[in-house]
Amino acid sequence: MKHKLSRLIPRTLYLITVFLAACAEAVPTLTPTPALSGPTLEPSPTFELSTRGDQPAEPVFEGQNNPTAAALAPGAAMPPFEIGQPPSDNPGRVVEITAEDGTLLQGELYVNATVLSPGVLLLADEGAGWGDFPGKLYEEGYTVLVMPVRPSNALSDFHVMLQTLINGVADPARLGVIGAGGGANVALLGCASDKLCDAVALLSPLPDPALLDAMPQINPRPMLLTASQEDSEAFSTIQDLQAAATGEVLFQPFNRAGAGTGLLQNRPDLGDLIASWLKLVLV
């Protein structure tokens, strides 16, 4: 019996050793688990802005980053920016206003700031041609904006000028526009498309069929029409406009009095007539 046990013990130990060795070498089966990975999408491509053809990129105007512009309502005009120091004896201030295309337009502004006064926009090819007429209107109690005319942007400039005039400066319910020469045409066409204009005065307008076409939009607002008879084209034009008007018209012909703003220099009484007319129509 002892002999049999002695032979079994080594064999059992051998089997246990083999079993343990087999267990140590065995690799357990892995259980699949979710794994996180980094983003597999490529970064978005970077685009470079380019212009069409040879045209330069449109500029970013100062007004877009200007605190004053940011405070205005959409579509409102920038307030006039005063340039330099005016003479103490001149109530007019040289100002710049920003046109819709970003161009800075230079003019002269006479402000009656004690009360919200009626406003008058003066349009001519050259602002200096008005002489002392803007100062006289200022003394009569009007806020006056004197501006030149850009033929290529006349109507868009007109609307900006009118908005500038009322931007805390003049009474929006009492606005008159006076134009001379080419400025007279802009005054009529501009007022036809802008209801802020309450009355319009034309000095020697240039012949243009568009003026008669605009009369249905002007009517029945009051008008003042004047020209010198030897300026035959302008005189014929104001006669046609008078015939097409349905509102009140002050028709004032002259003889040998020049044209455009020259009428005011050759006939000083015309300035008084216009001032009296404004008092009647801007009430």
The CATH number of residue 225's host domain is 3.40.50.1820
The verdict on residue 20 lying in a domain is no
Q: Which of 10-19, 72-81, 147-156 has the lowest mean pLDDT?
A: 72-81
The verdict on residue 4 lying in a domain is no
Instruction: Please report which residue ranges of 145-258 form alpha helices under DSSP H.
Output: 154-166, 182-192, 209-218, 232-244
Q: Which of 58-67, 101-110, 113-122, 198-207 has the highest mean pLDDT?
A: 198-207
pLDDT tens figures, 168-221: 689 999 999 999 999 999 999 999 999 999 999 999 999 999 999 999 999 999
Mean pLDDT in residue range 135-154:
94
Q: Which residues contact 208 (CB under 8 A, 6 or more apart)?
A: 185, 237
The verdict on residue 227 lying in a domain is yes
SS3 sequence, 20-52?
HHHHHHCCCCCCCCCCCCCCCCCCCCCCCCCCC
The verdict on residue 167 lying in a domain is yes
CA atoms of 189 and 173, how far apart (whole Å): 20
- Single-letter amino acid, residue 45: P
Output 278 or 129, whichever has higher pLDDT.
278
pLDDT band at 34 (very low <50, low <70, confident <90, very high): very low
Q: Which residue is associated with the tokens 């030149």? A: 148
Q: CB of 72 within 8 A of CB of 64?
A: no
Q: CB of 108 within 8 A of CB of 146?
A: yes
Average pLDDT, the chain: 79
pLDDT band at 167 (very low <50, low <70, confident <90, very high): confident
The verdict on residue 23 lying in a domain is no
Output 278 or 88, whichever has higher pLDDT.
278
Residue 70 above 70 pLDDT? no
Q: Which range of residues forms the domain containing residue 232?
A: 92-281
Read off the pTM.
Answer: 0.71
pLDDT tens figures, 47-66: 343 344 444 444 333 443 44
The verdict on residue 3 lying in a domain is no
pLDDT band at 92 (very low <50, low <70, confident <90, very high): confident
Q: Where are the extended beta strands (E) located within 111-212?
A: 118-124, 143-148, 171-180, 199-203
Tokens in use for 266?
Answer: 């050759």
Count of domains observed in the chain: 1
